[in-house]
Amino acid sequence: MRLTSPGPTLGVVGGGQLGRMLGEAAGPLGVSVVVSDPTPDCPASPVVADQLVGDFDDYGTLRALAERADVLTYEIELADPDTLAAVSEETGTPVHPTPDTLRTIQDKLVQNERFDDAGVPLPDYRRVDDAEDLRDAGDDLGWPVMLKARTGGYDGRGNVPVANPEDAEAALAEVGAGEGGALAERMVDFDREMAIIGVRGADGETDAFPVTETIHEDEIMRETVSPARTDGAVRERAREVALDVLDALEGRGVFGIELFERSSRSDDGRSSGHRPRAGGEILLNEVAPRPHNSGHWTIEGAVTSQFEQHVRAVLGLPLGSTERRCPTVMANVLGDVQEPTRAELTGVEDLLAADGTHLHWYGKREVRPLRKMGHVTLTADGAGTRDVEELLERVAERRDDLTFA
């Protein structure tokens, strides 16, 4: 590729914080970003070349975006794969990852079946269409089970643990399963949750960032720790699973791959053709075909951020190094309010004065309960310690000192 001015244009369906950070990463590469989003002045709008206002599945909006772009991608799974496929065929603008991959990921049952067929280790699961199916699944898998809406869930929403058969109807109503069915999974007794950002570039080249530990509360991710606090054999096994996941999907880009680690294999999952490994068994949880919250640490903590890597990959440019620069932790800044209100964050000066600390503000106009408003990253090379426990304690304290007025 030869760089000119103007350079290539990347069209992104979705203009939230991921679109914003894609725009920030694309600029130094000489790449312009145009986003489409239904919200005028979306979070990405201050840092991208332009925004088209329209729904994620609006044909006219996506066609106009495709006509302005050299490549289309998406930062939200609410993008419509059929519409993307249609505008790609009519305009000749490629979509990465492919619409078929998006279609697979949008339905958790289809996603599990795809990975099961590929030999990726998963928790046992059953299709659930009604309360009787859920009760049968619980009797088969063992109570409690994790119930997941097949479509539409994110950030833990659409997932609910079900303790016993008597709770079946209420659980199905809570996840909205009547709109598209549900999936019951055997509850995994895991030691920790982890994630890997995998990437596929041109000519099928694949790579993965170092495995990261993710810390959740009430099904919402609060912090990440890289390296994950586990042994090298487990990290290598997690990387193997991540690369197997990439082999089962189509298209270029980065993929957020969520994993469980448990200390030994029991009857709550299948090996799916993989022999159990000493020191920890890895099971796949879910996959996102886009940059992911678990990979935000890479902006300061890796040689190439997940956002720059996604831009490189979808445009067919050489991939950057996935090497971690130093131990790095990240903490999400979540809305700590009871009711939606104007976003006004306080405590910023003290945070920015702390060595090795980086703030990312997403530019959302309204703060809501537990809404992701930004994140704080702390790197070992700036903080003067390589002890991840100390880093994690510091980043959580500095994040907690931020408040919404």
At residue 372's C-alpha, the angle toward residues 183 and 11, to 5°, is: 80
Query: Is 388 in contact with 379 (CB distance < 8 Å)?
Result: no
Least Cα distance to 25 among 314, 251, 246, 239 occurs for 314
Tokens 């016993």, located at residue: 164
108 is in an annotated binding site: yes
112 is in an annotated binding site: no
Least Cα distance to 183 among 155, 160, 149 occurs for 149
Tokens 């099961």, located at residue: 116
250 is in an annotated binding site: no
| Distant-in-sequence, close-in-space partners of 217: CB < 8 Å, separation ≥ 6 | none
Give the CA-trace dihedral at 388, 122, 159, 331, to 10 degrees: 10
193 is in an annotated binding site: yes
Least Cα distance to 22 among 380, 292, 323, 371 occurs for 292
H or E element: which one contains 156? Answer: none
Query: Is 296 in contact with 330 (CB distance < 8 Å)?
Result: yes
185 is in an annotated binding site: yes
H or E element: which one contains 262? Answer: strand 253-262
12 is in an annotated binding site: no
358 is in an annotated binding site: no
187 is in an annotated binding site: yes
What values do phi and psi take at 82, rounded to 5? -70, -40
| Distant-in-sequence, close-in-space partners of 124: CB < 8 Å, separation ≥ 6 | 141, 185, 186, 268, 269, 270
What values do phi and psi take at 20, rounded to 5? -60, -45
Give the CA-trace dihedral at 201, 207, 213, 219, to 10 degrees: 30
Q: Determine the Cα–Cα distance for residues 196 and 220; give it in Å rounded to an integer.
A: 17
Q: Binding site for ATP: residue ranges?
A: 108, 148, 185-188, 193, 216, 285-286
Could you list the residues known to form a binding site, using ranges.
108, 148, 185-188, 193, 216, 285-286
